[in-house]
Structure 1
Amino acid sequence: MYVSAIPFFFALYQAFKLLSYIDKKKAFSELSVKALKNIKYCAVIISISYVPGLPFFYIVAKLEDAPGIMLIGLGIIFASTIIAVFAAVLQRLLQEAIDIKSENDLTI
């Protein structure tokens, strides 16, 4: 869990930077795309860091006769995967919007 705390707090910092870009009316900029890319990578790192721990969750669940413990590890992996996919979709949409905006600026 300590290993996953580092990318979590880095992603939290990137989300704060993204919100500050939106507040400064720089939402459609390359900085926002970079922040979303960093959030995506952090979510992938978190999900990958929990995969090797699943056998330990299984052993503890079997010893303690508590199958809900296994769902904790799977839930964290699932949630971080969903966040990575969502950030990737937002990054792609934002990049396309920036490209369209730059094309429109050049045609006028």
Structure 2
Amino acid sequence: MKRGSTIFLKIAVFLIGTPVLALCIFGLPWLANNPVNPDYAHILYPIVIIMYVSVIPFFAALYQAFRLLSYIDKDNAFSNISVRALKKIKYCAITISALYVVMMPFVYLVAEKDDAPGLIIIGMVPVFASMVIAVFSAVLQRLLQQAIDIKSENDLIV
């Protein structure tokens, strides 16, 4: 495969991680220190903590995606290490989804206090987005494993 396309994807992975890192460094501390309404500041703390915890599997998944692109560069795309990278990405996405499901009752409390029912729908976006990523990586993992099995069978025949 041409190296240019994987370089572009590696840059995209880096650019995906940059705003999340900036949000963790600047946005979340500001949100925790300056709540819009001080009456529900105590509800925001669990939300901010869960958002910080969800960053760990997010960056782990980005690292695995970067490694997967490196495997493609080295012509190791059809190998068990690529399958393991996809498996780790799947588990990271499931973890992120579970963390945001745990966060939903706190989002509900904020939405009730602020009378903003649309906040619950916005809070569900990371849950569904990470589940889509988990399903997609599971499908890719299965297809890649089948391709590796077929390749190993063909290597034995020839």
The residue aligned with 1:91 is 141
Larger Cα Rg: Structure 1 or Structure 2?
A: 2
In the other structure, the counterpart of 1:45 is 95
Distance in 1 (CA, whole Å) between partners of 2:91 and 2:131 is 10
- Show CA shifts across 1:57-78 (max 9, x none): 1111111122222122211000
**RMSD, aligned α-carbons:** 0.8
Question: What CA distance in whole angstroms lies between the structure 2 residues aligned with 1:36 and 1:52?
Answer: 24
- Identity among equivalent pairs (%): 69
Residue equivalent to 2:119: 69
- The range that moved more, 61-70 or 19-28, is 61-70
Q: Is residue 75 of structure 2 the alignment partner of residue 25 of structure 1?
A: yes
Q: 1:59 aligns with which of 109, 128, 140?
A: 109
* Structure 1 unaligned residues grouped into runs of 5+: none
Which amino acid counterpart does residue 34 of structure 1 have in structure 2? Answer: R
Partner AA of 1:17 in structure 2: R
Residues 1:100 and 2:150 aligned together: yes
Alpha-carbon separation, structure 2, partners of 1:55 and 1:28: 42
Size of the alignment, in residue pairs? 108
Moved over 6 A (4+): none
Distance 1:69 1:38 in 2: 30
Residue 4 (structure 1) aligns with: 54
Q: What residue ranges of structure 2 are gaps of 5+ in the alignment?
A: 1-50
TM-score normalised by structure 2 residue count: 0.67
